[in-house]
Structures are given as C-alpha cells and as structure tokens.
Structure 1
C-alpha cells in the first residue's frame, strides 16, 4: 500500500515543533541587538556605561537607605515577584492548559520558562560580572550580576501568562490592560533590583531584553509550526499563542 507523502504523524509533528522551538530560541537570543550590544559593552568594560551604572545605583540606593520602610517594601516586592513565583505560576498555567486539552500550549509555556532560566544561568557564567558594592547595603544577593535573573524572569513569566490569557479576553481594552499590567510588573521588579543595590541598571535592562527575546523567539517558532500544520495564522501578541484554546473546545 502506498502512503500519502503528505501524511504527518503526531510524533513527527511534535518533533518538528521541538526543533523549531530550539532553533528559534538560539537564533533570536544570539541576534537580539539590544541585549548583544549591552553584553559587548559590559564585557569590554565600556567606561561611559560603567559610569552611568554607578551613578544610577548610588542615587537609587541612597533613596532606599534614607527610607528603611521603603527599602523593606522593595525587598518584599522583589521576592514576591521573584523567579520562583513566575516559574510556579507558569507551571500551574501549563497544567491547567494540559487539563483543558491545549497540550502543545502547555509544552510551549514550560519550554519557554525553562529556556529562560537556563539561558540566564549560562550568560551569568560567561560574563561573570560583579554585583554593586555600596556602603551600608540594604540587601544582598549571591552569584553574578549580568543579566538580572529577576528582571529576566518577570519579563518571561508575564509574557507567557499574558499570551496564554489573551484567547479568553474578547475586548481590546482587556488585552491592552493585560499587557499594561505586565509592563508595570516588569518595571517595578527591575527598579527594585537597582534600588536595593544588588544589580546595575544595565543588568536589569539586559535581563528584560533577553526575557522578551526568549518569549518572542519561541513564540515565533510555535507560530511557524502552526502555519505549516495548516492551522489558521495568528497574531500571537493580539490573539495569544493558540487563539483557539479555551474557546469552547479543546485543542490537542
């Protein structure tokens, strides 16, 4: 019996999806201009960038030092919205999506948050940048400084959750609000890391940039795979990664 050359088994389809997720992540991460530029400047000890980092760090840290209650509030906020929180929320969202039948969406979410964490650790190891050393520190953090793990995690985590939520939001205003909340959380967490004196400004900018790159890259790979499978083309940042998810029928 002759098999159709257009037949695609679920196994081969999932395999191609995995390859595209990996290749998209690597490609976008390597060629993301803002992140790569900061990486080069940091590794070359570019004096103007170092001066800016030190000036901002000392200014924000002085404010935190002058207001102990404010510093404690920042410390609570930075931990509440830290990497562990986003990993737990994304995993819970993935479990929910899997239960609802959106299994590939669940895989996309787990792959994205996992790649983000591993990539952050890898870049930290390569750059090995020292954290700020300020008089009378109000906080402390272990490990290398560039890029900020907190900033990268909040950018990745909020991006994933909003993209999963969008199919359930019918009104444009609700979608805009979702992205606005994500942006506020990203700015807040990035601010706390610098104000508490545990990161340079360039660390948090790079962390946010790389987090966005990971989400965008893996989402682009997912959307390419969807189109190759004959599914309706989608605009992920308006409709979500899988627009048909959670709209009255299960998607496998």
Structure 2
C-alpha cells in the first residue's frame, strides 16, 4: 500500500460510515418508523413548551440560527475565493500559489454542497414540526443549517491540515468546530423548526460529503510547504 493510498483510507471509511447513518435516517423517515417519530415529536413539543414559557429562549436560539445561516458560509466561501485569486505583489505570489488550490476546493465544497440538502428536502418533503416557534421556509428533512455549519466547520479544519498548520491550532480548531456544530443543531431543535432526526441527518450528510471530497482530493493535493 502506498503512502498516498493510506492517506485516503480514513476519509473513505468516514464517508462510508456517515453515508450509512444518513441512509438509515432517510429510510426511517420515509417509512415513518414509530420509535423515531415518537422521539422527534416528544422533543419538538418540549422545545415548544419551553419557548412559550421563556421568550428569551427563542430570542437567543433565533440569533444563533441567523448568525449561522447557510448563506453566511457561502458568502465567506466566495470572499475567500476572491482573496486568494486577486493579483498579488511579486513577493507574495509563491505563498498565494500554495493556498489557492486548497482554498478553492474548500470553498467549492461549501458552495456546491449546499445543493444536496435542498435536493433531499424536495424528494422527501417532510413537513416542519407544527410546534415550530419561528417561521421557516422549505421542508424539514434534512436540516440545511446542520449541513451548512458541519460542511463549513469541517472544511476549515481540513484546510488547516492541508496548509500544514500546527497541531495545537488544528486541535483547537477541531474543538471549536465541534462546539459550533452542536450549538447550531441545538438551536434548530430548540426552536422546533427541525426534528432531532433532521439535524442528525444534516450532520451525517455533510460529513459524508466533506469526507468524500477529501478522499478524492488527497490523491492529488499535497500539503503546502511549511514556511521557515
């Protein structure tokens, strides 16, 4: 087994496992599996009751949702593309070439990936919870917020790896990514605009997507050389 092939195994396994999780959730929702629907309904009703009793609860979680809208990360991805592809002064061109391809792949993963939850939503057509505390467009399964934050966060962590950031920086970035993903998922469930299975499916689909892209790009993207 070559070193490059060895590097591809981990993302392939991750993508496969996440795809299986997403597939099982998808089948359970389509089949209206009673235990899953019971759990989803219970959590949605509980969230609605808490929100009714504590208006500040709704304000806080709505602010989290607005700050982490999928559109926000698409704008960030576009800005990143513009930054790395604008003309630079001669002494900065070498470093710019080092980061252009990894940043382009990360940005494309965020931008193109945004189509996936929209397509699945259109196919499944699961209604939003009737207990929803705020208005929300489209259908419920999977959560585009959960997909968007997971895709963006994982791309950020992987980008640090490709750019050869320090292990400490990558570790803190991974912790921050996990916390942010959890925060957004809780926000969508707390507002009762998504069921638990919706956000779980959004995360699983995003992990499968990012890991799949990572597995492909690891075959032809080498880490940028460490400066100094």
TM-score grouping bracket, smaller chain normalisation: 0.7 to 0.9
Secondary structure class of the residue paired with 2:220 = helix
User: Would the aligned equivalents of 1:158 and 1:182 in 2 still touch at CA under 8 Å?
Assistant: yes
1:169 is aligned to 165
Deviation at 1:89, TM superposition (A): 1.7
Which is helix-richer, 1 or 2?
A: 2
CA contact (8 A) 2:121 2:140 kept: yes
Deviations 1:221-250 (A, max 9, x none): 000234xxxxxxxxxxxxxxx5216x449x
Q: Secondary structure at the match of 1:224?
A: coil
Which ranges of structure 2 fall in alignment gaps of 5 or more residues?
Answer: 1-10, 87-95
Checking the alignment, whether the CA contact within 8 Å between 1:61 and 1:194 is kept in structure 2 is no
Larger RCO, structures 1/2 (Cα 8 Å, 6+ apart)? 2
Question: Contact 1:29–1:210 at 8 Å: present in 2 too?
Answer: no
Contact 2:61/2:187 (<8 A) preserved: yes
Q: Specify every segment of 5 or more residues in structure 1 that has no aligned partner in the other structure, as ranges.
A: 1-23, 227-241
Aligned to 2:47: 60
- 1:202 and 2:197 correspond: yes
Q: In terms of Rg, which structure is larger?
A: 1
Aligned residues: 205
Q: Note the C-alpha offset of 1:85.
A: 1.2
Q: 1:186 aligns with which of 181, 188, 196?
A: 181
Q: Whole-Å Cα distance in 1 between the matches of residues 124 and 35 of structure 2?
A: 18
**Cα separation, 2, equivalents of 1:90 and 1:108:** 10
Q: Distance in 1 between matches of 2:223 and 2:209?
A: 20
Distance 2:22 2:215 in 1: 18
The partner residue of 2:218 within 199, 214, 223 is 223
Partner of 2:129: 132
Among 151, 165, 190, the alignment partner of 1:156 is: 151
Shift of 1:45: 0.7
Aligned equivalent of 1:82: 69
Name the structure 1 match of 2:58. Answer: 71
TM-score (norm: length of structure 1): 0.75
